[in-house]
Amino acid sequence: MKYVSEYRDKESALKYTGLIKKLVTREWSIMEVCGGQTHTIVKYGIDQLLPDSVTLIHGPGCPVCVTPIELIDQAISIAGLENVILCSFGDMLRVPGSCSDLLGVKASGGDVRMVYSPIDAIAIAAGNPEKEIVFFAVGFETTAPVTAAAVLQAEHLGLDNFSMLVSHVLVPPAIEVVLSGEDCAIQGFLAAGHVCTVMGYTEYEPIAEKYGVPIVVTGFEPLDILEGIHMCLKQLEEGRTDVENQYLRSVSREGNRTAIEIMRRVFEITDRKWRGIGRIPGSGLRLRERFARFDAGKKYEVSSHEVDEPEICISGEVLRGNKKPLECAAFGNVCTPEHPLGAPMVSAEGACAAYYRYRLARGK
Amino acid sequence: MCLGVPGRIEEISENDDPLFVTGKVNFGGVLREVILAGIKDAKIGDWVIVHAGFALNKLNEEEASEVFDYLRQISEFGRIELEEADGISGCAEEVEID
Ligand code: SF4
pLDDT in tens, A175-221: 999 999 888 889 999 999 999 999 999 999 999 999 999 999 999 98
Q: What is the pLDDT of residue A338?
A: 87
Per-residue pLDDT band at B92 (split at 50, 70, 90): very low
Contact A61 B80 (CB under 8 A): no
Query: What local confidence, expressed as pLDDT, does residue A276 receive?
Result: 84
Q: Which residues face A30 on adjacent strands?
A: A56, A188
Highest mean pLDDT among A33-37, A59-63, A170-174: A170-174
Highest mean pLDDT out of A219-228, A232-241, B64-73 = A232-241
pLDDT at A3: 66
Average pLDDT score over residue span A162-171: 96
Superfamily of domain A65-170+255-300: HypD, alpha/beta domain 2 (3.40.50.11740)
Whether residue B88 is contained in a domain is answered as yes
- Please check whether residue B37 touches A, CB under 8 A: yes
Its sign, for the CA torsion A128, A304, A335, B1, is: positive
In degrees rounded to 5, what are phi and psi of residue A166? -100, 125
Give the pLDDT band (50/70/90) at residue B65. Answer: low
Q: Report the amino acid identity of residue A6.
A: E
Torsion-angle region of A45 (φ positive above 0: left; ψ -120 to 50: alpha; else: beta): left
B58 by DSSP, 3-state: which? strand
**Strand partners of residue B35:** B22, B54
pLDDT confidence of A100, banded at 50, 70, 90? confident
Q: What is the CATH number of the domain that holds B13?
A: 2.30.30.140
**Can you tell me whether residue A317 is helix, strand or coil?**
helix
Burial grade of A113 (CB within 10 A; 0-12, 13-18, 19 or more):
middle
- Residue having the nearest C-alpha atom to atom 1 of ligand 1: A331
Within a domain: B41: yes
The answer to whether residue B98 sits within a structural domain is: no
CB contact at 8 A, A81 and A105: no
For chain B, the domain total comes to 1
Would you say the CB of residue A313 lies under 6 angstroms from ligand 1? yes
Q: How far is CA B55 from CA A117, A229, A254, in A?
A: 12, 27, 17
Most distant pair of Cα atoms in chain A: their distance: 66
Residue of A nearest to B94 (CA): A8
d(CA A330, ligand 1 centre) in Å: 6
Please write the tens of the pLDDT for every residue from A262-320. 999 999 999 999 988 889 999 999 999 999 999 999 999 777 677 777 889 999 889 88
CA distance A277 to B72: 41
| pLDDT recorded at residue A364 | 46
Phi, psi of A188 (to 5 degrees): -155, 160
CA-to-CA distance for B71 and A16, rounded, in angstroms? 7
Whether the model pTM is above 0.90: no
Per-residue pLDDT at B69:
72
Alpha helix (H) ranges present in A102-200? 102-107, 118-127, 144-156, 171-180, 193-199
Q: What is the predicted pLDDT for the residue at B18?
A: 84
pLDDT band at A326 (very low <50, low <70, confident <90, very high): very high
Q: State the ipTM, two decimals.
A: 0.87
Domain that holds residue B51: 5-93
* pLDDT tens, position by position, A8-38: 777 888 888 889 999 999 999 999 999 889 9
- Whether B29 and B22 have beta carbons less than 8 Å apart is answered as no
In the predicted model, is pLDDT for residue B77 greater than 60?
no
Closest CA to A95 of A345, A351, A320, A284: A345
Range of lowest pLDDT (A175-179, A332-336, A347-351, B61-65): B61-65
A229 lines ligand 1 (CB under 6 A): no
Q: CA–CA separation, A259 vs B55, rounded Å? A: 9
Closest by Cβ to A8, choosing from B54, B57, B94? B94
- Identify any residues that bridge with A169 across adjacent strands, giving them in sequence order: A284
Which of B66, B88, B97 shows the shortest C-beta gap to A44? B88
Res. A90: pLDDT tops 60 = yes
- In angstroms, the CA A14 to CA A29 distance is 21
**CA A88, A272, B3, A333 torsion: positive or negative?**
negative
> Is pLDDT above 70 for A132?
yes
Least confident of A57-61, A108-112, B48-52, B64-68: B64-68
Report CA B85 to chain centroid distance, whole Å. Answer: 28
- Is pLDDT at B67 greater than 70 in this prediction? no
Q: Is A346 in the pocket of ligand 1 (CB under 6 A)?
A: no
Domain residue limits, chain A: 65-170+255-300
Q: Is the pLDDT of residue B91 over 50?
A: no
| Cα(A223)–Cα(A247) distance, integer angstroms | 11
Residues on chain A touching B53 (C-beta within 8 angstroms): 116-117, 119-120, 146
- Please give the pLDDT value at position A352: 93
**For B65, which residue in chain A has the nearest alpha carbon?**
A249
Q: What is the rounded distance in angstroms from the CA atom of residue A330 to the CA atom of residue A336?
A: 8
